[in-house]
Each structure stands twice: as C-alpha cells, then as structure tokens.
Amino acid sequence: MNWLDETNWQLHISFLVLLSIHTKANFLDSRPLRNSGKGNIDARKEGGGSTAAAPTQKKLWCHCHHYCPENSKNNTCSTDGYCFAMVEDEDTGGQSFTTGCIGLEGSDFQCRDTPLSQPRRLIACCTDQDFCNKDLHPTLPPLEHPVFSKGNVHQKALLISVIVCSILLVCIIIFCYFRYKRLERRRRPPPYSIGLEQDETYIPPGESLKDLIEQSQSSGSGSGLPLLVQRTIAKQIQMVKQIGKGRYGEVWMGKWRGEKVAVKVFFTTEEASWFRETEIYQTVLMRHENILGFIAADIKGTGSWTQLYLITDYHENGSLYDYLKSTTLDTKAMLKLAYSSISGLCHLHTEIFSTQGKPAIAHRDLKSKNILVKKNGTCCVADLGLAVKFISDTNEVDIPPNTRVGTKRYMPPEVLDESLNRNHFQSYIMADMYSFGLILWEIARRCVSGGIFEEYQLPYHDLVSSDPSYEDMREIVCIKRLRPSFPNRWSSDECLRQMRKLMNECWAHNPASRLTALRVKKTLAKMSESQDIKL
C-alpha cells in the first residue's frame, strides 16, 4: 500500500489542515451561545425522537447584528447551518438582541436552551429562507423574584423567618392588649362596690350565691368560698331587719344583690364561738342539705368596736321552736321534720374517709331553737359554736377553747352529773342523741291524731321553771330519772306509738343504750315507708 509513502502522507495532512481552516471560518464561536435558551429546532423533531433532516449544503444568508464575521457586508453573513436570533439579560438591567449565523456542525447544541443559564438567554434558529432571522423575536419570560428562584435558599429562609416572627409579634401584642383590658375591667370598681378595699375581690355581675358556692365545690376544695370572696360578700350586704337575739348576739335578715341572707352578729365576748362555728362550717365535705348552708364569715370594725359576722342561708320559717309554736302537723309533716333533722345530725356524726376527709363532729348544743325549717318543710341543723371534732389519726377529741356551755334543759344526765368522759368522742355523740329524743317529743306533740293535738311546750315544762338551774335539772334528770310525759292519745296512733318508743331509746339514762343517729334515721325511713310517705 504505497499511499503510506512520504509524498502521499504529506498530501493527506495538507488536506486535513485546509478542512479545519474552512470549518473554523464558517462555525460560530460557541462561547456566548453556550447555556443559551431553547431553540426552535426542537419543533423540527419528529415523533421518533430524531432531529430534522439537515439542510442542503447551499449557502444560507442571514442578518447579523452584534455578531458579524469580519468580512461581513451590510450586516449579513452566510452559513451552511442556521440563522439565529438571541435575546440576553445584561448586567445593567436591560436586554441585548443579537442575530447572526451558526454553522451546521454543533448547531444542535447551539440552538438548544439550558434552563439555568446565567445571565438569562433565549435563542431561536431558522433555515426557512434567507434572512429568516429577521422575523425571529425571542422573548424572555418575566423575571422571577430572586427570593423564590432556585438556589436562593438563604434569602428564602430569611423571608420565612421574618414573616413568622412578625406574626408571633402581632399575636403577642394582641394577647397583651386583651389581657391588659381584662385586668383593667377587673380593677374598675363595679357600681355596687364603689370604694373596693384591698381585702376585697371583684365578683362579676349576675353571679348568684348559688353560682359562687357551686364553683367553690367544683374547684375541689370542698371547704366553702375563698376568703376574699367571703369578705367581699360580707362588706356588700345590706342589713334589713333584726329577726332574733340570743346570748351569743343577734340575727339579722340581710340582702346581697337582692338575695336574702341570714347574718349572725356575735358579741365581742363570743369570739371563740364565732371562730369555732366558722371553722366547723368550713370543714371539708361539710356541706349537706340538712345542715345550714354557710356563705361567709368576716370581722368588721375599727379600733373602738368590732363585729363578728357569720352569713348563712336565710329560712323565713325560722327555727323549729318558732315553727312548732305556730303550726300543727300531720303524720307526713311530722316524719319529714324528724327525718331531715336526724339526716343532718347523722352527717355531722359520720366520719368520711378520703384524701381530704371529713372528721366526725358532735353538736353539743342540739335543741329546737338550733334547727331551722326550710320552705319545703324539711329541717337543717344550725349553730355549731360548741361542736367538737374527732381526729381519728391521733384518736384525739378537738374541744373548742370556749367558756360557753350548752342549754341546761337539753343536757343529758352524764353532763349534768359530770360523769361524761371528755376524752371519749362517743360520749359526745350519745349526748347529742339524748337531746334529739327531746326534740322528737316536741315535734310529736304537735302532730294531729283523731283531731287532737297538744299545745307546744318545751321539754320538762311541767317539772322545772322557764330558766332552770343545774341543780333543778340534775334532780329531775339524774336523781329522779324523769322524762317528758306522753299524752294518752299516742297509744291509739301507730305512728305516734313508734315515735314514743324511739324517744325512750334516744333518751335512755345509760349512754351506751341509746340509739345512734344512723339507726334513728333508718327507723324513721321505715316508718315513712309503712305510711306510704315519700321523704
């Protein structure tokens, strides 16, 4: 193969050099067109994915601007490839428009768009006719905001942070504003509490005593209203009229926001009774429908005088003593009074075991004047100034430091002869049961049977004076062992006969022989069932 000799080899080399020079003269410099926009050449592709057929080898004349060869005339150039038009962003913010020629070799790449080109470019190519690129007008799409463009992660994060912080700041400002307004409304004295003092609190209008008590019970304390609420109520009460007076002080009917309340005003000498009664009423789980509803306690006064207030529910029927003096009873009313009274006493006597339990409590001054009658004909136990508590954890009896003693007429034999064991709590429970037996006697006398009833009288009315001494009572109760007498008519009435039996078992001389409150309650319930009476 003699074509490889030296002469032929030199000829081949010369041919390749000439071909290279010719290609360079017709090929567009690719540097400014690299990474350019998507060209119209893509539109020429067929469904099979192949490119359009290459143009014929004849020369194509194109218009050139900003990209003309050195030998161009009248802004024209010729090529064996494509005419192009290109628009490109400039650093100054404007856009430049360029036209010219692209050689056939590499035109597929020159007329394609690279999406992430910087600066942005868009190129369009054509081969339809000479100077076809005059009709090409590539247009760049609107510029995206740089914050949302890809790659600007830091700017995007900064914007999100600023927006979130602004929203949080606005929320905090709104919260602080409403909180300030709320506190301002609370500090603003309502029309009914002008001159609100430091030891008072704001009670919203429309709140009734029932609402306040229910809220305090649902809060879980179970020991009554908060102290500031009690003081506020006490300061806002209007005294209306005096409805009673006793050795401890006076009882007034008052009003709080139109609601009637009972205000017990203690003498300053009876501070121990006021303190003890307040303490007992605020015992956890003390509230019961048959124990007088406690509302508030407060001390009013200046340096020269002091008033001790105990505010409770108001019952217009007054005490059982007053009620019996003016009212006769049928069997149902008698059982209702007796059953509700013993229910209250039973709750007092019962110890409730829980995380915040209620201790067992003995009344120590049970009498008809210390039991109140409600509108519905039931009773509630009141006046707990002498009550004692049993501390089961230490097995101790909590006796109040009080010089006051109970009512002599209702004192059991063991108190009158001073044989009561003061360290044994059950002794006080049994003393209450003796007194309750006398109350049953007072109630039963007013029950009508066969059209007959007795006038109201206090126990032992026919044996001692209206204000008996210790000696008088000790002689009757302890030495003679007398008890109130029963009218003959009771023997002919089954219900009154059972009541008489109950009284005898309550006021037995031996405390250990007396019935408990729970036993009496069950007996009265059974008597009601036998009479078809619903309590």
- Mark the binding-site residues for ATP, compressed into ranges: 264
Q: Which amino acid is at 211?
A: D
* DSSP assigned state of 33: T
Active-site annotation holds for 365: yes
User: From CA 382, how far away is CA 344, in angstroms rounded?
Assistant: 9
Question: Facing residues of 301 across strands?
Answer: 306
User: From CA 426, how far away is CA 443, in angstroms rounded?
Assistant: 26
Annotated catalytic residue: which of 313, 365, 383, 493? 365
Reported in sequence order, the residue ranges of 10-113 that DSSP labels E, i.e. its strands, are 60-63, 76-79, 82-89, 95-102
Residues 6+ apart with CB under 8 A from 260: 253, 254, 314, 316
Annotated binding site: 264
DSSP 353-407: -STT-B-EEE-S---GGGEEE-TTS-EEE---TT-EEEETTTTEEE---------
Q: Are 361 and 280 in contact (CB under 8 A)?
A: yes
Distances, alpha carbon 267 to alpha carbons 170, 305, 323, 450, in Å: 59, 10, 26, 47
Please tell me the number of Cα atoms within 13 Å of 99 on its side-chain side. 21
Could you give the dihedral angle defined by the CA atoms of residues 317, 320, 323 and 329, in that order, rounded to the nearest 10 degrees? 120
Q: Which two tokens stand for residue 59?
A: 């020369």
DSSP 500-535: HHHHHHHS-SSGGGSPPHHHHHHHHHHHHHHTT---
What positions carry a catalytic annotation?
Answer: 365
